[in-house]
Chains A and B, each alone.
Chain A
Amino acid sequence: MKRIYMDYSATTPVDKEVIDEMAPYFGKYFGNPSSIHSFGRDAYDAIEKSRSKIADILNADADEIIFTSGGTESDNLGIMGVAYLNKDKRKRKGNNIITSSIEHPAVLETCKYLEKQGFNIKYLPVDKYGLIRIEDLEEAISKDTFLITIMYANNEIGTIEPINEIGKIANKYDVLFHTDGVQAVCKTPIDVKKLNIDLLSISSHKIYGPKGVGALYIRKGVKIRSLTHGGGQEKGLRSSTYNTTGIVGLGKACELGKIRLKEDMSQLKYLRDELIKNTLKIELSYLNGHPIKRLVNNANFCFEAIEGESLNMMLDEKGIASATGSACSSKNLQASHVLTAIGLNPEKAHGSLRLTLGRENTERDIKYIDNVLPDVVENLRKLSPLWDR
């Protein structure tokens, strides 16, 4: 059976060029980058090259990049690292952090953890598109605020937050600004200098790199407290032997992402818009997220009277890989916090479908979905007591 992958926001395949770049670092250049001998130096050079490539896609400097194990660790290190250092300095800037109510769990759970330790966290609401309001942010800032952490783009509904305005506010009130860039990197141009971003989290496996590696951009002059204790790698901020292959892969993925950014963006946007146009022809279907301020690869829908996990399974049976924010597919049986925050009633939130596109998708895939999806929705509605027409 033909299989179509449309869950690129969950993860991406590793690009062949990335695999080729990584391969020699498993065997030939296996040395520990921290060693003084030539084996170590070979690996060290590769790591520093990779650091520059990552800095390049953000308009950052190489020495502003720290390697981590992925997006989650980058978020944890960025937020807790700033928070713990701030605590050290005898509440120099108070103890308030501002975040949004639609963050990825890597940020939300970190904030909740800090809350238990006495930090004060303000969770900004979002409008029906998933955008925070700049007025709310400005109002939330007090003399106690030392950090704003608001995602660049949302992983479920694809909404791109007003990063430029948030950066300006952070600058105006002299508050640090961290952003979870996991979904945005390589899908939209990012300039940390122009945008006034102090810390930004990157994940490799979302951008055609290998899993288990990521990076944190930390603007020069910004101090954080390390969370891991050991050999003192990464200027003592992230002890652990370098994941050389992973780091080389992430670097190559960023290099390719930069070269292909324009082409990727226009191709994905075209396919996404076709997908949205086709799908909204289905009776009582809705697009979640912002119609324009959204990631080029994200389409998120709700269909009335059907449940998302059933929809995922029916589509899987037809060879289409998709995702949902339904409670039934989650571990805690709660509907997605993002869909709830944009004001969907639970019934609608349970009927959500996320299709996220990537480099391998073609127009033929979009046509296939258009052939399959309306029937699948209709069949589930025939089963549904909530559908009476």
Chain B
Amino acid sequence: MADIYTEKVKDHFFNPRNVGEIKDADGVGTVGNPTCGDVMTVYIKVKNDKIKDIKFKTYGCAAAIASSSIGTEIVKGKTLDEAMKLSRDDIANELGGLPAIKMHCSNLFSDAIRKAIKDYRKRIK
């Protein structure tokens, strides 16, 4: 079949950025379901209402892994409110596009980062 992924997707898939866990994370968000073939966990460290550090782990296809990788790059250094607004289209656009059937993968990251931020906000209350 045609090459379904852009060079940028492949770059982030083969050389994913910010992989790992943060042991003393300020917020953690896990989304997805192994039954559906993708699970993503995002860890954040927060300072002055900004994302100071971020790591991820993803089980899934190349689109899911690349979305997580580029997503962490986009939100790093952003304020929490900015990160909350990240949409799946933002991620797909940054990757130079995703096949229609893989768009849910980019959704996964925006859901995960939101969940991590909510987790952080709950903890500091």
Contact = CB atoms under 8 A, between A and B. Distances in A.
B2 interface: no
Nearest to B63: A328
B84 to A, nearest CB: 22
A346 B57 CA distance: 20
B19 A313 contact: no
A346 B59 contact: no
B95 to A, nearest CB: 15
A241 interface: no
A106 interface: no
B83 interface: no
Interface stretch (B37-45, B86-94, B116-124): B37-45
Interface string A333-356: 101000000000111001000000
Interface stretch (B28-36, B46-54, B72-80): B28-36
A307 B37 contact: yes
B114 to A, nearest CB: 17
Q: How large is the interface on A (under 10, 10 to 19, 20 to 34, 35 or more residues)?
A: 20 to 34
B61 A385 contact: no
A350 B60 CA distance: 9
A379 to B, nearest CB: 10
B37 to A, nearest CB: 4
Interface string A305-318: 11101100110010
A346 B35 contact: yes
A386 B39 CA distance: 8
Given A383-B16, A385-B57, A346 B34 contact: yes
B101 A310 contact: no
B61 A384 contact: no
Contacts of B34: 346-347, 350, 386
Interface of B: 13-14, 16, 19, 30, 34-41, 57-65, 101-102
Given A307-B37, A328-B37, 6 more contacts: A307-B38, A310-B65, A328-B61, A335-B37, A386-B34, A387-B59
Interface of A: 305-307, 309-310, 313-314, 317, 326-329, 331, 333, 335, 345-347, 350, 382-387
